[in-house]
């Protein structure tokens, strides 16, 4: 269990080091940090150098100035104060937590509600509150969500809209209840209006897609069951055709195209959604992207993520292979072998496309996939995620293709899998052993449960 302390406790130890042991401020800080880390204390929420430059006073004084401005209704210099506050909040999470405890969230919400007609202050306040909630999303409440919707309805200009969308996205990351609250405030229909506007700019579109992806995350370990799938289903039903239709419209903007592809990949969580994207021309567009941009690491990674998602439908899976994606995938892995994210996404693609499909596996054998997979595992022996995807790909290509799987053995897959098992143990055990078993190689399988030999009474 992680141990935490308050800022006051930490400051007391630093002051004690200086007073009792005549340490310099720098020595006192170093000693205090060593003491707490040795005790297993998490110091990520602590401002360690507070005694050297008292930023807490700057944060508190900034908040006092903002509160006084609200009380006096004099906002002449507020945007400068907001900029100073944001610079402090951007330094580290400890300052953001400290500011939150000092009422920064309520102050900024109060300011925005009082200045809804002042675009300059709204923009500065949105930047400050986004910085405040970066990695610190627990502060959001119903009042904040209502304000988000109010600003979304009131400000159509691109710059304000982008700042608002970035704040909304920050609130959704690693916070399930925030996602549900924002989604229940009818945020999707507001976002859809941005997507379907004829004059929507690329930057607006990218920020809207970022919010959509944040709404379908499932990254809050405090909640065992989230609503990522439900959110994705609702958004997919209302926006898949819109997002797919935007691909050709922005085909010359690599940033927008990439965001659209990765957003589609996050939304197609059901069989029929995969088919809908293909019917709308999504598969053909992805293939064109991989052909037209062979050297773009990010675009190829995003295209591979979408291909894997589309493979969730068996009919689309067959079309992906018959459309010539097999050689494209293997080529991308081989060509960008120095990019771990591209290699991992490519291996995940091979795994998905060959699952319960020996004919697809045969295509990958013809493309030289075994050598590429083995070389990828050798290149990234410490990446558990990559090794798992590779093991799944090996297994899916081998289980129903016994004649061809000897190609893996020829390239030395046994040593690579055995090394991965020794290095990572239980993290990859089931995956590696399954691959060894389906390759027909020696493997020691554990019997998870055995009876005690006691006869049962009827």
Sorted by sequence, the CB contacts under 8 Å of residue 242 that are 6+ apart come out as 192, 195, 196
What was the pLDDT predicted at 28? 82
pLDDT at 298: 96
pLDDT at 385: 96
Q: How many CB atoms within 10 Å of residue 174?
A: 16
The token pair that represents 105 in the structure block: 């969230």
Q: Residue 409's Cα: distance from chain center in Å? A: 36
Q: How far apart are CA 299 and CA 254, in angstroms?
A: 7
DSSP percent split of the chain into helix, strand, coil, nearest 5: 70, 0, 30
Task: Report pLDDT for 4.
Answer: 80
* Alpha carbons 357 and 401: distance in angstroms, whole number: 10
**CA-to-CA separations, 371 to 110, 258, 364, 412, 428, in angstroms, rounded:** 61, 29, 11, 9, 21
In the prediction, which pLDDT does 443 show? 81
Identify the helix (H) or strand (E) that includes residue 186: none
Report residue 409 as tokens. 């053995």
Q: Are strands 41-42 and 3-4 parallel, antiparallel or unpaired?
A: parallel
Q: Quote the Cα angle for 251-269-299, to 5°.
A: 30
Question: CA 447, CA 434: separation in Å to the nearest integer?
Answer: 14
* CA proximity to 177, closest of 206, 137, 211: 137
Q: What is the CA radius of gyration of the chain?
A: 27
pTM listed for this prediction: 0.87
Which residues does the chain have with pLDDT short of 70? 1-2, 50-56, 447-449, 451-456, 458
pLDDT at residue 408 in the model: 95
Q: How much is the pLDDT for 104? A: 96
pLDDT reported for residue 217: 95
**pLDDT score of 271:** 94
Cβ-based neighbour number of residue 187 at 10 Å: 24
Cα separation, 306 vs 327, in Å, equals: 17
Q: What is the pLDDT of residue 14?
A: 80
Q: How many CB atoms lie under 10 A from the CB of residue 42?
A: 12
Q: How far is CA 361 from CA 58, 343, 357, 396, in A?
A: 62, 18, 7, 8
């Amino acid at each position: 269990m992680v141990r935490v302390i308050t800022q006051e406790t930490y400051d007391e130890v630093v002051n004690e080091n200086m007073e009792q042991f005549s340490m310099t401020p720098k020595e006192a800080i170093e000693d205090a940090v060593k003491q707490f880390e040795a005790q297993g204390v998490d110091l990520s929420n602590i401002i360690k150098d507070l005694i050297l430059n008292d930023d807490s006073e700057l944060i508190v004084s900034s908040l006092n100035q903002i509160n006084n401005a609200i009380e006096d209704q004099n906002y002449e210099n507020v945007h400068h104060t907001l900029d100073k506050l944001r610079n402090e909040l951007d330094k580290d999470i400890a300052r953001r937590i400290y500011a939150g405890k000092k009422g920064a969230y309520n102050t900024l919400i109060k300011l925005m509600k009082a200045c809804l007609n002042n675009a300059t202050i709204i923009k500065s306040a949105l930047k400050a509150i986004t910085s405040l909630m970066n990695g610190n999303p627990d502060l959001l409440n119903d009042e904040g969500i209502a304000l988000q919707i109010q600003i979304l309805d009131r400000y159509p200009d691109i710059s304000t809209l982008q700042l608002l969308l970035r704040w909304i996205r920050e609130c959704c990351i690693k916070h399930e209840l925030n996602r549900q609250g924002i989604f229940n405030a009818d945020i999707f229909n507001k976002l859809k209006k941005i997507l379907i506007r004829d004059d929507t700019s690329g930057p607006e579109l990218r920020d809207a897609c970022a919010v959509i992806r944040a709404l379908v995350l499932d990254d809050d370990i405090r909640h065992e069951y989230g609503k990522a799938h439900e959110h994705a289903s609702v958004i997919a039903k209302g926006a898949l055709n819109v997002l797919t239709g935007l691909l050709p419209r922005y085909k010359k903007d690599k940033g927008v195209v990439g965001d659209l592809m990765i957003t589609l990949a996050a939304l197609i969580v059901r069989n029929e959604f995969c088919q809908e994207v293909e019917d709308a021309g999504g598969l053909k567009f992805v293939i064109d992207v991989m052909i037209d941009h062979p050297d773009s690491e990010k675009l190829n990674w995003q295209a591979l993520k979408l291909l894997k998602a589309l493979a969730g439908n068996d009919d689309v899976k067959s079309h992906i292979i018959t459309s010539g994606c097999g050689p494209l995938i293997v080529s991308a892995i081989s060509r960008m072998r120095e990019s771990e994210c591209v290699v991992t996404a490519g291996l995940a693609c091979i795994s998905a496309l060959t699952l319960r499909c020996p004919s697809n596996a045969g295509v990958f054998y013809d493309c030289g996939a075994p050598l590429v997979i083995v070389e990828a595992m050798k290149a990234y022996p410490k990446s558990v995620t990559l090794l798992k995807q590779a093991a799944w790909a090996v297994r899916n290509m081998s289980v129903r293709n016994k004649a061809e799987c000897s190609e893996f053995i020829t390239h030395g897959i046994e040593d690579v899998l055995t090394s991965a098992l020794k290095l990572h143990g239980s993290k990859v055990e089931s995956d590696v052993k399954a691959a060894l078993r389906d390759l027909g190689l020696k493997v020691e399988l554990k019997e998870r449960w055995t009876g005690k030999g006691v006869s049962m009474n009827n």
